[in-house]
Chain A
Amino acid sequence: AQTVTQSQPEMSVQEAETVTLSCTYDTSENNYYLFWYKQPPSRQMILVIRQEAYKQQNATENRFSVNFQKAAKSFSLKISDSQLGDTAMYFCAFMVGAQKLVFGQGTRLTINP
């Protein structure tokens, strides 16, 4: 069974700083997808970034980038120039094929002015 672990329950940084959220996962699959989702207080789960396991190049989306280490089964999210609107719960998730998403426990990120 696949598992996803987020070891940081809460993090807090100042606006404009860079922050890195950690995620590790366990699987015996070779082809899979990894995601970071953002969930603000409104509860809407919003996709931040995705990574296909067969791609060696790390995914980037504007201020968001990942450090994907397949051998170490690690998938961290870096947020550069953090903004107040980045305050939310962040979930790391894993998916094989078109199956279910397996989520981690989440990291509550607070950006302070």
Chain B
Amino acid sequence: DAGITQSPRHKVTETGTPVTLRCHQTENHRYMYWYRQDPGHGLRLIHYSYGVKDTDKGEVSDGYSVSRSKTEDFLLTLESATSSQTSVYFCAIRNGAGVNEQFFGPGTRLTVL
């Protein structure tokens, strides 16, 4: 299994509060991704990183920001959580060599009340 961990695994928060989710990898992979998974929508890309301090937006980036100060860590921040951001969040990594194969973390279930 790819060495990817996510923290926290579960979080309940209130509308308007800031939330930061962490993805940590031990594979030294270049690319890291944040997705959200919702019933009826599948996996949707929020943001991704193609190197330290190099990030770009995905298809559902509004309300989210990311940071990557080290190869191994990719942080996803909800500046002011809303109920529409209740979801399961997955981090994925890719080593960048050849085919775009991504390996996923165990997920974080976030509930915004």
**Do chains A and B stick together as partners?**
no
B residues near A (Cβ < 8 Å) are: none
Chain A residues at the B interface, C-beta cutoff of 8 Å: none
